[in-house]
Amino acid sequence: MNYREATAADLTAIKTLLNSSKLPSDDCDEHIGNFIVAEDRGKIIGTGGLEICGADGLLRSIVITPEHRGNGIAKKIYQQIEDRAYSLDVSTLYLLTESATEYFKKLGFVIKKRSETPKSIMQTKQFRELCPSSATVMCRTDTRPHSVEASK
């Protein structure tokens, strides 16, 4: 298994993976420099990204192909995104989810009211257009490298 930063050449595979799980992919190209991919034998089998909004960051959809789920790949992608956020002085991570609330709680995220979301996050295309208003907003303020491991 290989984990690396995504490049523009990965966009088609990333969008295909996101679309296959009914996750938004419309603006991935705008943030490709902050996406991570997991490869198995040269094929992208997982991805996730980060959208920088000043001191806040929006965690973009983390998705793994169905046949590779349950092997800790999503957690490793998240840890690399978290490391990137830390290196870019992002102090708080936000995300929108319709189905992974319990998973992200295990990673230290807490549910927030939409009205408590900072303007910088509210202005993203993800928040305004791509994710439904019924999506749960979650937040995590500790973005130290591998703080998931430290919190166990």
What pTM did the predictor assign? Answer: 0.87
Instruction: Classify burial at 149, counting beta carbons within 10 Å of its beta carbon; exposed 0-12, middle 13-18, buried 19 or more.
Output: exposed
Specify the amino acid at residue 75: K
Whether residue 142 has pLDDT greater than 80: no
Domain range for 64 = 2-150
The secondary structure of 18-51 as a DSSP string is HHHTT---TTGGGGGGGEEEEEETTEEEEEEEEE
Is pLDDT of 151 > 80?
Answer: no
Cα end-to-end distance, the chain, whole Å: 24
- Indicate the average pLDDT of the chain: 88
- Structural domains of the chain, count: 1
Residue 150 has pLDDT above 60, yes or no: no
Strands (E), the chain: 2-5, 35-40, 43-53, 56-64, 92-97, 110-112, 136-140
pLDDT at 121: 93
Name the β-bridge partners of 112: 137
Measuring CA to CA, which residue among 42, 38, 35 is closest to residue 57?
A: 35
- Model confidence at 148, pLDDT cuts 50, 70, 90, reads very low
The stretch 39-61 carries a mean pLDDT of 93
Q: Is the dihedral of CA 21, 13, 46, 126 positive or negative?
A: negative
Residue 97 is part of a domain; what is its CATH number?
A: 3.40.630.30
